Structure 1
């Protein structure tokens, strides 16, 4: 072990109170940083899970001046051959009026092929009653959202009257109720593609195709590929830009706050080291008189700064992880469940790579901030430093 490290450790032990203050300041900042980052990652992940993961990554619409997509089977094959596409599902959607006894509400009726649609939106996972796949085996059936079922006062097995201007009225039996915790629970219903074509009195056509990608960040690239086929297409970043804006604003504001917190804590270390330089003036003079080079004096104080930063980072991340895990156990009261959608616990995600990055960043920043007091110590005249002892 080099003598610079031995002296740095001795200085840290000799000034216990200052050391505790410096390490505590850094640890507090890192703890706040760790907890805030875990919350941000958790809520961002939850936002993606409840929005992007439930939406088509790319939506395809009819060609210009066309209301429907004809020969959609061929289009599905061509889209399915594009690299990165994992699922394709045709749909025929439109507005419909649902009536049960004295209750009546308007909602979107989507005709789909259940097995293919489930690969897009994973609606089967959101079923609270019945089965989504039942649509594929039973004629004149419908799956509705929990909010719509509540307002219509409909239960599983009831038949609802569905009508709309210029449509063929039908009586559809409820074979499933889903709950996503989003507005779709009231605004969206599913039936089979055949039933929807019968209801809207159209031949074997669709008015859209949903596409799911292996990497949802490639939506723009795949959209351009589909446009080359002559169809209108939009990626999720274009159809739901509010999600991206929300994430970008939160991420930017959090990074600014995190940076300020860590910088403030690092300046606390600089202040401590400056005091250490003043207190160790005589010792610095003795080391210089004994032949210690300027670079060694600088290394002593830079090492002190790095050690203090590392200790604070380790203590702060440890405390932050414990607090984050404790917060993740907090159950959101049922009375507030509507405000948070389908979230029952505060979403917390602690990623090892984030912890390692925080520790490294704080350690590096403290090494850098230790350069100034190290230079101040190295500039001291040995004779004056010894005489001031």
Structure 2
């Protein structure tokens, strides 16, 4: 063992109370950082699962000045061949007026091919009543959201009258009810593509294609490829910028707050090492008189700073991981924010970077007391009482 390390450990062990307090201060700050980071990762994943995972990653719309996409089957085939596109779903969407008994409501009617829409947006997973596949096998059928059903006083098997200017009035039977936990539950309904085309009085055309990508982060790249072929296309980051904005705001506020917490905790290391320097002035002078260089004295106190920072980082991270996992295992009462438990994700990469950052931060914090110790005059230090 190098004597610098030996002396550093002796200094730390000699002032146990200050050492424990310094390590505890760093550990508590790191624990808060670890738990907060696990919450942030869980929140981000939950947000992606609830939104991006159920949204079309890219939406293709008609050419400029065109109302519809004609010969869409050929176009869907070409788009599906683009590297990175794993599913596509053509649709015809528009406004409609709904009436049931004395209840009326304006909402969106979306004509889809159920199996293809499910591949893209996982719509079948949101069904809480009825069967999603009924939309394929039952003519003149419709799927509605639970909030829409509540507003219109509708249930499975009920029929709803649909009309709109320049459209062909029709009556559709409710075959399923979905719940996404979003505003769409009150404003979006699904019917088959054929029934939608009959209602709007169009030929076999569509006005949009939803795409699902292997990597949703490539949405803008895929959209550009489609635009090069003459169609308008937008990725989810363009159509839903509020998702990225929410994550960015949460991340920035989280990092700023935790940065101040770590900064405060680092002052504990500076305080402890300053007290060590003040208490070991004579020993430092003796070491210099015995031949220790100023760089070696400086190194001793940097080692102490590193040991304190590493001990605080490791203990705080371990405590934070345990606390985060215990919080994540707690089951929330049914229906609270649509969550079964608090979303928590502990990632090994987060653990490693937190330990590394905290260690380096405390090493930097130890530069001042280390320099102070190295700048002592050995003659004056030895003569100090």
Range of TM-score over shorter length: over 0.9
Q: State how 1:253-272 maps to structure 2 within 5 Å.
A: 253-272=253-272
Residues 292-313 of structure 1: CA deviation (Å, up to 9, x unaligned) = 2222212211111111111111
In structure 1, what is the equivalent of residue 148 of structure 2?
148
Q: Which moved more, 1:89-98 or 1:99-108?
A: 99-108
Q: Which SS does the other structure have where 1:253 is aligned?
A: helix
**Cα distance in 1 between the residues matched to 2:217 and 2:245:** 15
**Cα distance in 2 between the residues matched to 1:153 and 1:331:** 32
**Cα distance in 2 between the residues matched to 1:225 and 1:13:** 64
Offset, 1:108: 0.8
Among residues 360, 363, 366, which one is paired with 2:359 in the alignment?
363
**Cα distance in 2 between the residues matched to 1:268 and 1:77:** 64
**Cα distance in 2 between the residues matched to 1:345 and 1:100:** 38
In structure 1, what is the equivalent of residue 73 of structure 2?
73
In structure 1, what is the equivalent of residue 206 of structure 2?
206
Residues 256-315 of structure 1: CA deviation (Å, up to 9, x unaligned) = 222221122112211211111111111111212222222221221111111111111122
**Cα distance in 2 between the residues matched to 1:353 and 1:32:** 17
Offset, 1:118: 0.6
In structure 1, what is the equivalent of residue 172 of structure 2?
172
In structure 1, what is the equivalent of residue 193 of structure 2?
193
**Cα distance in 2 between the residues matched to 1:42 and 1:186:** 28
Provide the TM-score with structure 2 as the length reference.
Answer: 0.96
In structure 1, what is the equivalent of residue 342 of structure 2?
346
In structure 1, what is the equivalent of residue 223 of structure 2?
223
Q: State how 1:45-56 maps to structure 2 within 5 Å.
A: 45-56=45-56
**Cα distance in 2 between the residues matched to 1:319 and 1:89:** 47
**Cα distance in 2 between the residues matched to 1:312 and 1:237:** 40
Q: Which moved more, 1:39-48 or 1:176-185?
A: 39-48
**Cα distance in 2 between the residues matched to 1:4 and 1:315:** 24
**Cα distance in 2 between the residues matched to 1:84 and 1:257:** 38
Q: Which SS does the other structure have where 1:296 is aligned?
A: helix
Q: Which SS does the other structure have where 2:155 is aligned?
A: coil
Q: Which runs of 5+ in 1 are unaligned?
A: none
Provide the TM-score with structure 1 as the length reference.
Answer: 0.95
Residues 14-49 of structure 1: CA deviation (Å, up to 9, x unaligned) = 101111121111111111111111111111211111
Residues 78-105 of structure 1: CA deviation (Å, up to 9, x unaligned) = 2112121111110001112222222222
Offset, 1:115: 0.9
**Cα distance in 2 between the residues matched to 1:382 and 1:32:** 42
Offset, 1:332: 4.4
**Cα distance in 2 between the residues matched to 1:100 and 1:332:** 37
In structure 1, what is the equivalent of residue 234 of structure 2?
234
**Cα distance in 1 between the residues matched to 2:92 and 2:212:** 17
Q: Which runs of 5+ in 2 are unaligned?
A: none
In structure 2, what is the equivalent of residue 2 of structure 1?
2
Offset, 1:366: 1.1
2:375 is aligned with 1:386: no
**Cα distance in 1 between the residues matched to 2:270 and 2:55:** 50
Q: Which moved more, 1:370-379 or 1:86-95?
A: 370-379
Q: State how 1:71-150 maps to structure 2 within 5 Å.
A: 71-150=71-150
Residues 234-259 of structure 1: CA deviation (Å, up to 9, x unaligned) = 11111111111111111112112222
Offset, 1:330: 4.2
